[in-house]
């Protein structure tokens, strides 16, 4: 397991080949503070009117841009939480959407049906998500390997069917249900408060990163890593993997339920799309794209995926694409097609995801500067 | 040794799940007779065999008749004339005896030697249509060895063929191997030192994933002190090593 | 009575469709340990291939008679080719990384429906079919749509063909042995990867045929059809035992019937729910259901 610290801007951040050691040490020391710098930049972003043509539709601080950025941050956080299972414990769950949707739907339903304010409904909704993760996790984890994956898929699918059938009118079926604006905190409703929602999403991301960071470094987290590497060896040590896996499952479920809450605020309602297995699969794609099991990889994957999904959709509607020949226009108009292809390419060509890219580039640069043939990557690491 | 060596393994290393199982095994299999591969449980005998065949990722050198084979996929290497009877017998339980044998037939390797197999193991002929999973342990071992005799192989590798068998069957299996070794050299992984003493001319001893000793089998087994040091057993006519296979290469 | 007959025939038709997907899925998983998430996409490719050909784009093919047979053959052939391509280019390079194989099929499973909706739109397209197959026939007082019968017949033919292939041919023998112990098959000097391509071809062929005939059953094609059927095919595969073609056949019939009857006699959607819960229950009660043997 290599934890790779990368540069925040992976698309252009090509580390230069180092020339002499002291400069390198200084840069390294400075570079260690980049997350704080990025965080400060993200916090002040709503006050900026910086136009980012191509990246965003409007200026940085405009409601439209903030909404997109908030969604990106939300999914960056969700992917980070999901990686607690995939990359940290080695559990391939196909049902993560369920806990996300549970947080959103439970809170929304309590507000709508019981008329309780958000401040009361939200904790109850999150607790519901946690309880669901505890119950279904304790059942699902009785099987291992691909069996676990399929049980989680089955439960999530059952949840999805339930939601779309609209039992008792609680879920709103295919339409979903809008949250009652009068019960939400007034500072989180309306387009003029988009910045607040953005900060909520940012806060959720920071919280998720902190929780995951703390959890994987705890003694429990080390057992998770052991389980991921070789479950049987953990058993030989006299530890019962079941409880540890369940703790990872519940923690990830809790983070997802919290994310559902943020999503509820951000979109002003609960939608059945969040219950589908496709939703979980997109989380999977984000994590693998960014780099499973790394500190920043899942977040980067989630942000890039969400951004690409939205922006490519906009691009498809633009005249620039409509005029292209069909061979180019058709794939470009389908963000999921492009993302699927990029995903397959990353799985093949870049094991470890985008998080491995800086170290890959570095090793290639080093190899070329030394005139030596590029070292073969050790695929077993 | 070179002209007398059929299979020359040098510095074989196997890394599984980030852990080195073998740290450099040297092994020579003689062109004639039985070469025994010995060692305590967990020394890496089965992994060595699997590494030679390419069933686990490995590095080093494996030369069959002077030709380097370490880059070859398992099936290509096997087609060059290796018969393999694995530790757990490798029987397809859901297939009949006849189907198990038919699977071992190789195109372009001449007519399969069914007469030989059926002569050595008449039982297999009688039980042709029986599912292999319902056979006794001894009968399954016959299928496993029968498969190695079906083709005109240059080398037979048998991994603990007598493990878990009744004493009478052990003798039977040893007799068959003895007969087979008259025509084809055999690499034999064996815990039963009585069988080794009876069959093997040469032996290689592994310890902790390395080669600890190579030499004539009789010499090692005749030296009580060396045998105890290398194999962890005293020696005697009834030297049965209890097989604790749970530890073996797990 | 007539309702019962209609429900039974519809359930069997649905079961036949499930079988066409699940048989290949089961063989692929049994032999290669790859849960092929792109299998629904193969069905969609078969469905769109047939629809495209039957809509008059392929010379000689059309919505009726021999033209339709040609269209189905074309769709099935395209699906088979896509399956082979999938195995050779996406799955094979990841031979030593089983989890990545599954992930790669997930990616393909996302990309293909998106590509289909990019080319032909995300809305359902009416599926052209011969007059003879769009009507109904009388059975014990019920008017049963003929397309149910077509699906059932196709599934039976595929089942028999698979049984003959597995039981009577050397390649079938290799597949059966490989399902039990892949490494041992290679240790006998057999290139088991050829069998991988083969089971992908067979699975893709069956799924694409399912797509072609599923178009008749649903009356339309849409890009997400295959993916939505995939989950039920998973249920069938797990119920019938991984790698077991006969098990898949029995399970398909059971699942199809349960779903139809439960959907009709209880609340709509409850049948789907029951089947999905059945999947979870089966896996929990019989965790070894995933390591079944060929039968």
DSSP, residue by residue, C149-181 = HHHHHHHHHHHHHHHHHHHHSHHHHHHHHHHH-
Task: Tell me if B75 and C184 make a contact (CB, 8 A cut-off).
Answer: no
Q: Once rounded to an integer, what is the mean pLDDT over residues B19-43?
A: 87
Note whether C182 and C173 are within 8 A (CB): no
Is the predicted pLDDT of residue A91 greater than 80, yes or no? yes
DSSP-assigned beta bridge partners for residue A51: A59
Nearest residue of B to residue A379 by CA position? B18
Shortest alpha-carbon distance between residue A141 and chain C (Å)? 9
Shortest alpha-carbon distance between residue C179 and chain B (Å)? 9
DSSP-assigned beta bridge partners for residue B84: B157
| Each residue's pLDDT tens digit, C95-113 | 878 788 888 998 999 889 9
CB neighbour list of residue A16: distance below 8 Å, 6 or more residues apart = none
C101, C110, C236, C267: best to mutate for the A interface, most A CBs within 10 A: C110
| Each residue's pLDDT tens digit, B153-188 | 899 999 999 888 888 889 988 988 988 888 899 999
Alpha carbon distance, N-terminus to C-terminus of chain B = 33
Where exactly are the structural domains of chain A? 63-369
Task: Tell me if B84 and C185 make a contact (CB, 8 A cut-off).
Answer: no
State the pLDDT confidence band at A317, using cuts at 50, 70 and 90.
Answer: low
Nearest residue of C to residue B99 by CA position? C173
Q: Note whether C277 contacts A: Cβ–Cβ < 8 A.
A: yes
Indicate the angle between helix axes A63-86 and A96-109, nearest 10 degrees. Answer: 130
DSSP β-ladder status, C136-139 and C142-145: antiparallel
Shortest alpha-carbon distance between residue B3 and chain A (Å)? 36
- B103 contact residues in C (CB cutoff 8 A): 173-174, 177, 185, 188, 190
| Two structure tokens written together for A189 | 């409703």
Using a 10 angstrom Cβ sphere, with 0-12 exposed, 13-18 middle and 19 or more buried, the burial of residue B130 is: middle
Shortest alpha-carbon distance between residue A158 and chain C (Å)? 5
Q: Is C141 left (phi over 0), alpha (psi -120 to 50) or beta?
A: left
Is the predicted pLDDT of residue A10 greater than 60, yes or no? no
C173, C181, C185, C189: best to mutate for the B interface, most B CBs within 10 A: C189
- B18 contact residues in A (CB cutoff 8 A): 229, 380-381
Distance of alpha carbon A197 from alpha carbon A191, whole angstroms: 10
Is the predicted pLDDT of residue A17 greater than 60, yes or no? no
Q: How confident is the model at residue B250, as a pLDDT?
A: 35
Q: Once rounded to an integer, what is the mean pLDDT over residues B135-151?
A: 89
CB neighbour list of residue A240: distance below 8 Å, 6 or more residues apart = none
Q: Once rounded to an integer, what is the mean pLDDT over residues A206-218?
A: 92
Percent of chain B surpassing pLDDT 90: 24
Distance of alpha carbon A202 from alpha carbon B28, whole angstroms: 65
Q: Once rounded to an integer, what is the mean pLDDT over residues A350-360?
A: 82
Note whether B228 and B184 are within 8 A (CB): no
| Two structure tokens written together for C20 | 């066409």
State the pLDDT confidence band at A104, using cuts at 50, 70 and 90.
Answer: very high
Question: Residue A229 is nearest to which of B15, B17, B57, comparing CB atoms?
Answer: B17
Domain of residue B43, CATH code: 3.40.50.300
Residue B127 within a domain: yes
State the pLDDT confidence band at B19, using cuts at 50, 70 and 90.
Answer: confident
Scanning A72-101 for CB atoms below 8 A from C yields: 92
| Two structure tokens written together for A11 | 């698309």
- Other beta carbons within 10 angstroms of residue C260's beta carbon come to 21
Give chains near A: 3+ CB pairs under 8 A.
B, C
- B106 contact residues in C (CB cutoff 8 A): 189
Residue A82 vs residues A95, A99, A203: alpha-carbon distances, Å = 10, 11, 17
Distance of alpha carbon B4 from alpha carbon C11, whole angstroms: 69
Instruction: Flag residues of chain C having pLDDT under 70.
Output: 268, 286-295
Task: Tell me if A162 and C283 make a contact (CB, 8 A cut-off).
Answer: no
Q: How confident is the model at residue A379, as a pLDDT?
A: 41
Shortest alpha-carbon distance between residue C18 and chain B (Å)? 26
- Other beta carbons within 10 angstroms of residue A28's beta carbon come to 11
Is the predicted pLDDT of residue A248 greater than 90, yes or no? yes
3-state secondary structure B110-173: CCCCHHHHHHHCHHHHHCCCCEHHHCCHHHHHHHHHHHHHCCCCCEEEEECCCCCCCHHHHHHH
* Phi (first) and psi of residue B187, to 5 degrees: -100, 120
| Two structure tokens written together for A204 | 């959720």
Compute the 3-state secondary structure of chain C and give helix, strand, coil in percent, each to the nearest 5.
Answer: 80, 5, 15
Is the predicted pLDDT of residue B139 greater than 70, yes or no? yes
- C189 contact residues in B (CB cutoff 8 A): 75, 78-79, 82, 104, 106, 151
Q: Once rounded to an integer, what is the mean pLDDT over residues A1-6?
A: 40
Q: How confident is the model at residue B239, as a pLDDT?
A: 42
Distance of alpha carbon A280 from alpha carbon A86, whole angstroms: 12
Is the predicted pLDDT of residue B105 greater than 70, yes or no? yes
Q: How confident is the model at residue C239, as a pLDDT?
A: 79
Using a 10 angstrom Cβ sphere, with 0-12 exposed, 13-18 middle and 19 or more buried, the burial of residue B68 is: exposed
| Each residue's pLDDT tens digit, A38-75 | 887 877 777 777 777 777 777 777 878 888 899 999 99
- Write out the residues of chain B at the interface with chain A, using a CB-CB cutoff of 8 A: 15, 17-18, 57, 250
The total number of structural domains that make up chain B: 1
CATH number of the domain at A63-369, out of 3.40.50, 1.10.287, 3.30.1890, 1.10.3470?
Answer: 1.10.3470
Q: Higher confidence at residue A53 or residue A235?
A: A235
- B99 contact residues in C (CB cutoff 8 A): 173, 176-177
Q: Note whether A164 contacts C: Cβ–Cβ < 8 A.
A: yes
The DSSP symbol for A240 reads -
Where exactly are the structural domains of chain C? 19-226
Helix (H, G, I), strand (E, B) or coil at A16: coil
| Two structure tokens written together for C174 | 């290799």
Note whether C21 and C40 are within 8 A (CB): yes
Range ranked top by mean pLDDT from A141-150, A159-168, C73-82: C73-82
Task: Tell me if A232 and B250 make a contact (CB, 8 A cut-off).
Answer: yes
State the pLDDT confidence band at A335, using cuts at 50, 70 and 90.
Answer: confident
B38: domain range?
5-231
Is the predicted pLDDT of residue A237 greater than 90, yes or no? no
State the pLDDT confidence band at B50, using cuts at 50, 70 and 90.
Answer: very high
Mean pLDDT, chain B, whole residue set: 84
CB neighbour list of residue A379: distance below 8 Å, 6 or more residues apart = A351, C96, C97
- B17 contact residues in A (CB cutoff 8 A): 229-230
Task: Tell me if B94 and C293 make a contact (CB, 8 A cut-off).
Answer: yes
Give chains near C: 3+ CB pairs under 8 A.
A, B
Q: How confident is the model at residue A57, as a pLDDT?
A: 74
State the pLDDT confidence band at A13, using cuts at 50, 70 and 90.
Answer: very low
* Residue tagged 């020359």 (tokens): B8
Mean pLDDT, chain A, whole residue set: 82
Is the predicted pLDDT of residue A204 greater than 80, yes or no? yes
Shortest alpha-carbon distance between residue A148 and chain B (Å)? 22
- A351 contact residues in C (CB cutoff 8 A): 97, 100
Distance of alpha carbon A216 from alpha carbon A185, whole angstroms: 34
3-state secondary structure chain B: CCCCEEEEEEEEEEEECCEEEEEEEEEEEECCCEEEEEECCCCCHHHHHHHHHCCCCEEEEEEECCEECCCCCHHHHHHCCEEEECCCCCCCCCCEHHHHHHHHCCCCCCCCCHHHHHHHCHHHHHCCCCEHHHCCHHHHHHHHHHHHHCCCCCEEEEECCCCCCCHHHHHHHHHHHHHHHHHCCEEEECCCHHHHHHHEEEEEEEECCEEEEEEEHHHHHHCHHHHHHHHCCCCCCCCCCCCCCCCCCC
Q: How confident is the model at residue C6, as a pLDDT?
A: 86
């Amino acid at each position: 397991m290599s934890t790779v610290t990368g540069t925040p801007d992976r698309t252009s951040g090509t580390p230069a080949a180092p020339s002499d050691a002291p400069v390198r040490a200084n840069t390294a020391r400075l570079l260690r503070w980049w997350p704080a710098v990025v965080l400060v930049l993200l916090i002040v972003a709503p006050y900026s009117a910086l136009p980012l043509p191509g990246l965003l539709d409007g200026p940085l601080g405009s409601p439209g841009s903030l909404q997109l950025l908030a969604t990106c941050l939300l999914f960056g956080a969700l992917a980070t939480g999901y990686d607690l299972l995939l990359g940290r414990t080695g559990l391939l769950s196909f049902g993560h959407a369920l806990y996300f949707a549970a947080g959103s739907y439970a809170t929304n339903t309590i507000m709508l049906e019981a008329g309780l304010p958000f401040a009361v409904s939200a904790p109850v909704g999150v607790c519901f998500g946690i309880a669901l993760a505890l119950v279904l996790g304790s059942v699902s984890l009785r099987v291992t390997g691909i069996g676990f994956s399929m049980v989680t898929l089955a439960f999530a699918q059952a949840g999805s069917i339930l939601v779309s059938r609209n039992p008792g009118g609680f879920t709103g079926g295919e339409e979903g249900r809008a949250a009652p604006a009068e019960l939400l905190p007034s500072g989180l409703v309306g387009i003029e408060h988009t910045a607040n929602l953005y900060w909520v999403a940012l806060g959720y991301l920071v919280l998720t990163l902190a929780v995951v960071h703390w959890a994987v470094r705890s003694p429990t987290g080390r057992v998770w890593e052991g389980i991921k590497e070789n479950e049987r060896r953990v058993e030989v040590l006299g530890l019962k993997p079941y409880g540890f896996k369940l703790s990872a499952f519940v923690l990830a479920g809790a983070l997802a339920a919290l994310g559902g809450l943020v999503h509820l605020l951000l979109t002003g309602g609960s939608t059945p799309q969040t219950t589908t297995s496709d939703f979980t699969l997109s989380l999977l794609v984000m994590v693998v794209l960014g780099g499973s099991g790394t500190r920043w990889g899942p977040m980067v994957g989630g942000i890039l995926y969400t951004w690409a999904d939205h922006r490519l959709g906009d691009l498809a509607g633009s005249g620039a694409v409509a005029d292209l020949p069909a061979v180019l226009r058709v794939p470009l108009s389908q963000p999921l097609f492009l993302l699927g292809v990029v995903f397959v390419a990353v799985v093949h060509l870049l094991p470890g995801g985008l998080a491995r890219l800086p170290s890959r580039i570095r090793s290639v640069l080093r190899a070329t500067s030394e005139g030596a043939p590029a070292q073969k990557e050790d695929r077993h690491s | 040794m070179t002209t007398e060596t059929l299979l020359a393994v040098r510095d074989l290393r196997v890394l599984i799940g980030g852990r080195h199982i073998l740290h450099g095994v040297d092994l020579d299999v003689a062109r004639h007779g039985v070469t025994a591969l010995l060692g305590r449980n967990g020394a890496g005998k089965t992994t060595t065999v699997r590494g030679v065949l390419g069933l686990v990722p490995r590095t080093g050198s494996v030369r069959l008749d002077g030709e380097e084979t370490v880059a070859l996929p398992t099936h290509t290497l096997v087609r060059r004339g290796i018969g393999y009877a694995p530790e757990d017998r490798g029987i397809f339980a859901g297939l009949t005896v006849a189907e198990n044998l038919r699977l071992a037939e190789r195109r372009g390797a001449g007519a399969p030697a069914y007469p030989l197999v059926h002569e050595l193991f008449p039982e297999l002929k009688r039980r042709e249509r029986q599912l292999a999973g319902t056979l006794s342990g001894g009968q399954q071992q016959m299928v496993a060895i029968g498969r190695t005799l079906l083709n005109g192989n240059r080398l037979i590798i048998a991994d603990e063929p007598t493990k878990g068998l009744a004493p009478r069957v052990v003798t039977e299996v040893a007799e068959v191997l003895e007969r087979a070794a008259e025509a084809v050299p055999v690499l034999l992984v064996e815990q039963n030192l009585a069988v080794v003493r009876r069959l093997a001319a040469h032996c290689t001893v592994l310890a902790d994933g390395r080669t600890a000793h190579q030499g004539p089998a009789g010499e090692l087994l005749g030296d009580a002190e060396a045998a105890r040091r290398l194999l962890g057993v005293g020696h005697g006519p009834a030297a049965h090593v209890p097989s604790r296979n749970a530890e073996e290469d797990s | 009575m007539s309702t019962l007959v209609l429900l039974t025939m519809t359930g069997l038709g649905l079961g036949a469709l499930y079988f066409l997907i699940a048989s290949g899925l089961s063989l692929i998983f049994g032999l290669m340990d790859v849960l092929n998430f792109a299998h629904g996409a193969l069905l969609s490719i078969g469905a769109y291939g047939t629809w495209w050909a039957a809509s008059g784009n392929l010379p000689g093919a059309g919505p009726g008679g021999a033209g339709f047979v040609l269209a189905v053959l074309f769709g099935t052939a395209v699906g088979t080719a896509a399956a082979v391509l999938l195995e050779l280019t996406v799955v094979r390079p990841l031979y030593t990384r089983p989890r990545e194989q599954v992930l790669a099929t997930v990616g393909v499973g996302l990309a293909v429906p998106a590509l289909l909706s990019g080319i032909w739109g995300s809305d359902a397209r009416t599926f052209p079919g011969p007059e003879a197959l769009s009507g109904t026939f009388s059975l014990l007082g019920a008017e049963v749509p003929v397309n149910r019968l077509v699906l059932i017949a196709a599934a039976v033919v595929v089942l028999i063909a698979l049984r003959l292939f597995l039981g009577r041919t050397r390649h079938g023998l290799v597949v059966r042995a490989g399902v039990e112990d892949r490494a041992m098959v290679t240790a006998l000097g057999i290139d088991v990867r050829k069998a991988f391509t083969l089971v992908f071809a067979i699975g893709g062929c069956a799924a694409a045929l399912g797509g072609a005939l599923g178009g008749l059953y649903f009356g339309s094609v849409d890009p997400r059809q295959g993916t939505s059927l995939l989950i039920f095919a998973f249920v069938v595969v797990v119920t019938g035992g991984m790698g077991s073609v006969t098990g898949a056949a029995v399970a398909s019939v059971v699942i199809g019937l349960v779903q139809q009857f439960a959907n009709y006699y209880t609340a709509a959607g409850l049948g789907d729910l029951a089947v999905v819960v059945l999947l979870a229950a089966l896996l929990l009660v019989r965790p070894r259901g995933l390591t079944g043997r060929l039968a």
